[in-house]
Amino acid sequence: MVSIKDVARHAGVAISTVSKVLNSYPNVSDETRGRVNKAVEELNFLPNSVAAALSSKKAGRVALLVNINAKTQAIDEISLQYIQGAINKAMELNLDVITLFFSMFQNKTVEELIRYLGSQSIGGIIIYGISKEDRVLLELVAGEYFKCVVIDAPLSNKSTSSVWIDHVRAQYDVARKTVVDNNCRRILYISGKESGYVTQERLKGMELLREELNLDMTVKCGGLSELQARNITLEFGEKYDAVICASDLMAIGAMKALTEMDIFRPVCGFDGIILMGYVGKQMNTVRQNFAGLSATAMEELQKLMNGKEGEDVKTPYSLDRMKYMDIIC
């Protein structure tokens, strides 16, 4: 087995320098860091070090990897519910938890990420907000280096479970209620981010509804942005009978645009965020119990860490109309 001493000898540096590089310490020159990383790769040191970390009794901590959007407070509301649900359940299960953010690992390789997680004695990971663009995290999951639970992504394997609601059915249900209750035929659907796994799932739900009711439907990508949804609705909203949005935030943007144009069109959202209750319009939405979903993810992760194989886990949702009196304290 290759040791850290072998890496130091191969790179021509001290053992302490190798340790600093492996643990991402900042006070190492780029030239030295490059030599150490090259030695690690040439000697295949990483698999052995990770295996040792994962097999040790200390590798029992859980990491929450959260994708925070600093520009959008409403998304942070969801993330905070996720974190709260996971931490509360971890306390019940006597698991040690640390919270990490995607931004901490920008421009990192999967090898660097694995080394960092191994240095923190991580045995399991819950990943929130992974997309098709997150190449390093996708490689981390596919490589089965750690026991993982991914939220809202179909990435289950022997070491990984996926936990999410049935987004196809949920989008179908909320859109159908809005369309049928208001006798609509021409639909403007504002979808989420093209790189998002749930975007495709929700689109499937809309296609099912379109075929069932023979609807005239146009799809525009809103990227989960309130501003983009507002602009799309300003440009196209008047031509359609209803505006169906793949998120509450976009529904708020769409409703704002309709108000500015002084026209009425039924609008529905998706997620059940508190902000929907402050809009002054009671729009249909899919309410997800984000804290409960995250608690389920923590329970699933513990099972994986105890030897269970990964699977696809679905959690419940409900249709709701967010009301101001229901959310104020």
pLDDT band per the 50, 70, 90 thresholds, residue 59: low
Phi, psi angle pair for 80, to nearest 5°:
-65, -35
Give me the half-sphere count of Cα atoms (radius 13 Å) on the Cβ side of residue 57: 0
Report which residue type is found at 128. Y
Q: What does the pLDDT read at residue 53? A: 47
Residues 54 and 188: their CA atoms lie apart, in Å, by: 49
pLDDT band per the 50, 70, 90 thresholds, residue 322: confident
C-alpha dihedral, 82 to 84 to 88 to 90, nearest 10°: 50
pLDDT one-digit tens code per residue, 110-120: 989 998 998 88
Whether residue 241 has pLDDT greater than 50: yes
Which two three-digit tokens encode residue 142?
């596919």
- Which span out of 18-32, 105-119, 241-255 was modeled with the highest average pLDDT? 241-255
Query: What is the number of residues in the chain?
Result: 329
Give me the half-sphere count of Cα atoms (radius 13 Å) on the Cβ side of residue 61: 16
**44-72: average pLDDT:** 65
pTM value?
A: 0.81
**105-130: average pLDDT:** 90
Domain limits, the chain: 4-27+37-165+292-315, 167-288+323-327
Which CATH topology does 167-288+323-327 take? Rossmann fold (3.40.50)
Whether residue 157 has pLDDT greater than 50: yes
pLDDT one-digit tens code per residue, 159-188: 999 999 999 999 999 999 999 999 999 999
Residue 73 exposed, middle or buried by CB count within 10 Å (0-12, 13-18, 19+): exposed
3-state secondary structure 59-114: CCEEEEEECCCCCCHHHHHHHHHHHHHHHHHHHHHCCCEEEEEHHHHCCCCHHHHH
**194-220: average pLDDT:** 97
Closest C-alpha among 54, 45, 267 to residue 178:
267
Residues 258 and 262: their CA atoms lie apart, in Å, by: 6
Which CATH topology does 4-27+37-165+292-315 take? Rossmann fold (3.40.50)
pLDDT higher at 14 or 176: 176
Whether residue 70 has pLDDT greater than 70: no
Two domains, one topology: 4-27+37-165+292-315 and 167-288+323-327: yes
